[in-house]
């Protein structure tokens, strides 16, 4: 298979990995946020903005993800990115494209539903939980796809998002 080493623009690579790290952080801070949220809900007081600590980090970094994803989407639309390898099966190209759009959508809807749980109604917390599962499932499929390019297809697609692979 033809090897395509053309990379994504550096700004998109930086945003990709920054967002990945922040999303992992959201899963690590989720328990802290859940505790604060449940206490506020049980006390009958509208949750409001959580106090300092892990829950505030969850809200703050989650909002940061939302902002970065919007910036990333705009940069992405304005950039020239390497096309899929020509000999990649059309169904795999479609699957990759759908997964990417799905990831963008999940990266917007997860923080929005989290913010709605705090600011509008605690019931949005249920939507937030569904969206984080959607995000997890899409990310798992995406990572599996990236590893398939690396190990099975060996077409250079993996290295487009990994700067150390640039030669
Ligand atoms: C991409 C960004 C985000 C991710 C991946 C994420 C992930 C999570 C996860 C995994 C949980 C635990 C849910 C469970 O297992 O039941 C959670 C809970 C929660 N998150 Fe987020 N979150 C994000 C952004 C936000 C933002 C921006 C806010 C608020 C400004 C927020 C507010 C909440 C609240 C209030 C809960 C508790 C909901 C409940 O227990 O019903 N999250 N989040
Ligand atoms: C080990 C982890 C990961 C690897 C190796 C990886 C690798 C890649 C690669 C190689 C691409 C470019 C694909 C192409 O050229 O067609 C890409 C794009 C993308 N990745 Fe990841 N990724 C990882 C984790 C994640 C995670 C966890 C998320 C979401 C939170 C994510 C979101 C995205 C998005 C939205 C794109 C689309 C880029 C575009 O706008 O075209 N990635 N990733």
Scored b (16 or more CB within 10 A) or e, 108-133 reads: bbbbbbbbbbbeeeeebbebbeebbe
- Residue with more model confidence, 6 or 126: 126
- Tell the residue nearest (CA) to atom 43 of ligand 1: 30
pLDDT exceeds 90 at position 35:
no
- Tell the residue nearest (CA) to atom 15 of ligand 2: 157
Q: What is the pLDDT of residues 60-93, one digit of tens each?
A: 999 999 999 999 999 999 999 999 999 999 999 9
Separation between Cα atoms, residue 5 and residue 23, nearest integer Å: 27
Closest-CA residue to 63 (of 14, 101, 16, 117): 117
What is the predicted pLDDT for the residue at 102?
A: 98
- Closest ligand 2 atom number to CA of residue 158: 10
Least confident of 136-140, 155-159, 163-167: 163-167
Contact in structure between 51 and 29 (CB atoms under 8 Å): no
Q: What's the mean pLDDT when you consider all of the chain?
A: 90
For the chain, give the percent of residues with pLDDT over 70.
87
Distance 33 CA to ligand 1 centre (A): 7
What is the predicted pLDDT for the residue at 150?
A: 96
Separation between Cα atoms, residue 13 and residue 19, nearest integer Å: 10
Distance 101 CA to ligand 1 centre (A): 21
> Across residues 113-139, what is the average pLDDT?
97
């Amino acid at each position: 298979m033809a090897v395509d080493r053309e990379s994504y623009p550096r700004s998109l690579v930086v945003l990709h990995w920054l967002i990945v790290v922040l999303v992992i952080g959201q899963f690590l801070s989720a328990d802290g946020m859940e505790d604060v949220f449940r206490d506020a809900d049980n006390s009958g007081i509208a949750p409001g903005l959580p106090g300092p600590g892990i829950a505030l980090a969850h809200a703050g970094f989650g909002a940061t993800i939302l902002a970065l994803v919007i910036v990333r989407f705009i940069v992405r639309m304005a950039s020239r990115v390497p096309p899929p390898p020509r000999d990649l099966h059309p169904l795999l190209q479609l699957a990759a494209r759908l997964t990417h759009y799905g990831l963008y959508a999940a990266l917007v809807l997860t923080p929005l539903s989290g913010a709605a749980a705090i600011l509008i109604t605690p019931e949005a917390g249920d939507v937030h939980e569904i969206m984080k599962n959607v995000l997890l499932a899409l990310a798992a499929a995406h990572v599996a796809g990236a590893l398939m390019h690396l190990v099975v297809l060996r077409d250079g697609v993996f290295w487009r998002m990994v700067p150390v692979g640039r030669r």
